[in-house]
Amino acid sequence: MRATDIRPTTDALLAVKPPVKRSYGQYIRWLLLFLGGIAMIMPIAWMVSTSLKWPHEVYNLKLIPDEPTIENYTYVLEDGRFYGWFMNSIIIAVITTVSNILFDSLVGYTLCKFKFPGRYIIFIAILSTLMIPTEMLVIPWYIMSQSFGWLDSYWGIMFPGLMTAFGTFLMKQFFETVPDDFLEAARIDGLNELQIWWSVAMPLVKPALAALAIFVFLGNWTAFIWPLIVTNSPEMYTVPVGLSGFGDEADVAWELIMTGAAISTIPTLIVFVVFQRFIIRGVVMAGLKG
């Protein structure tokens, strides 16, 4: 056998990939990401852990309970008050989310695709409301609710969040990426402006709609200050307000409060899982187009 017969061929040499050299910077970034992930997960893990503890174990700093129990979940789920708070939060969060998706996108589309005198002034005025702290708006909201008889009602809780300046800004920026040629072609086909907005423009900004839905739902689901002020009867409480009062009645029963908090995170997880795929799909499609 000749010596040349045992030498590796060119294809074999190409098939052998050189070892990937990783710098210390990459390891440091991975370590920081790992520590950040632990810092984000620990409050959730501690919440679930506390919800599985007996009252005498609450102040025990062990993450894994010595005697895990589901009695707290049974107690909370059988309490009719929590069910009412949960349904109130669902109704308010869903209605405000749908309202923001419709009206914020409609206003953003109008400010983006229609040219009329004063549209920039209107847009700046809408953005300027983002600089006003919510605490400064509570008193005008309360006076308005009292004047119109909206206290202790769904409408009184929802009306401040039915439209948002952030949502309008977000949708306007995304509508900027929609080509005007698509809209002109739809007008030539005989569609009116509402049909163009709904059938042509809206499907092209699904990532923005998904992001807006997540932000609005989470914001209204976790809202505390305004629902606490505008509601008087326990039957109208939302989950955050109800849990705070529930803790006072139970002499700060942290195991029950954490149980209610753990249950209340389920809708937020569902909303995130449902809508994040639209965001990911939009990012992927944007990369393919680029």
pLDDT digit string (tens) for the chain, length 290 residues:
454 454 555 555 445 555 556 677 788 889 899 999 899 889 889 999 999 988 888 888 888 888 888 888 998 888 888 889 999 999 999 999 999 999 999 999 999 999 889 889 999 999 998 888 888 899 999 999 999 999 999 999 999 999 999 999 999 999 998 999 999 999 999 999 999 999 999 999 988 898 899 889 999 999 999 999 999 998 999 999 988 876 554 467 788 888 988 999 999 888 888 887 776 665 544 443 44
Residue 121: the pLDDT is: 93
Residue 207: the pLDDT is: 87
E strand or H helix that includes residue 242: helix 239-249
Amino acid residing at 125? A
Residue 24: the pLDDT is: 79
E strand or H helix that includes residue 5: none
Residue 286: the pLDDT is: 45
pTM for the structure as a whole? 0.81
Residue 67: the pLDDT is: 85
**C-beta of residue 207 within 8 angstroms of C-beta of residue 140:** no
Residue 72 burial by CB count (10 A; 0-12/13-18/19+): exposed, middle or buried? buried
Structure tokens at 247: 């803790």
Q: Which residues are CB-neighbours of 168 under 8 A, at least 6 positions away?
A: 104, 107, 108, 111, 126
Residue 155: the pLDDT is: 94
SS3 state of residue 190? coil
Q: What phi, psi does 220 have (nearest 5°)?
A: -80, -30
SS3 state of residue 168? helix
SS3 state of residue 210? helix
22 alpha-carbon distance from chain centroid: 36
**C-beta of residue 50 within 8 angstroms of C-beta of residue 254:** yes
